[in-house]
Structure 1
Amino acid sequence: MGRILSFISKCYRERIKMNRNQSFVVERKVFQVKSEDCNGGTWISITERSRGFVVSLGFGEEKKGWLLEQFEKAVDLKASRGFIRKMRARLGLI
């Protein structure tokens, strides 16, 4: 998840023409994150490839900031879950 966040962040900061493509594997699913200049605008697409199906979402220039914010929240949530799980184990709640 951190690699996706840094990739999207880099694409958001760079205001130059770009055509970048990077793949990530999360829980046996492959996500392809692509940043492109196309039809006069910049957009990011996220494509999930898993067990015989493909799902693709596109985000335009105006939504890149929102997308980056959501990735940051997901990374923070993932980091805090490890702490919560450890504390619940110490308290005997698991």
Structure 2
Amino acid sequence: MPDLLKTNVAIIGAGPAGLTAAYLLSKNEISVTVLEADPVYVGGISRTATYKGFHFDIGGHRFFSKSKEVNDLWNEILPQDMLDRPRSSR
């Protein structure tokens, strides 16, 4: 496994999956470069766009998982910014 730790990794896309992969790899001391086509935004399509003073949600703004590991990871990454909201739909 020592050779793996010397590997440089390129991740294409700075959406939630790419940024999560980069976070986990770098946390394990693996060198990571994230490549994103959009020169302004990261987060993939999870963002709000503004046009003529109106705001439009593009992609998902809610996160829901029944996986404790996934929820723990997001709470680790966003300890102050993660908002908990009760789920009202089924």
> If each structure's strand is expressed as a fraction of its own residues, which one has the higher value?
1
TM-score (norm 2): 0.27
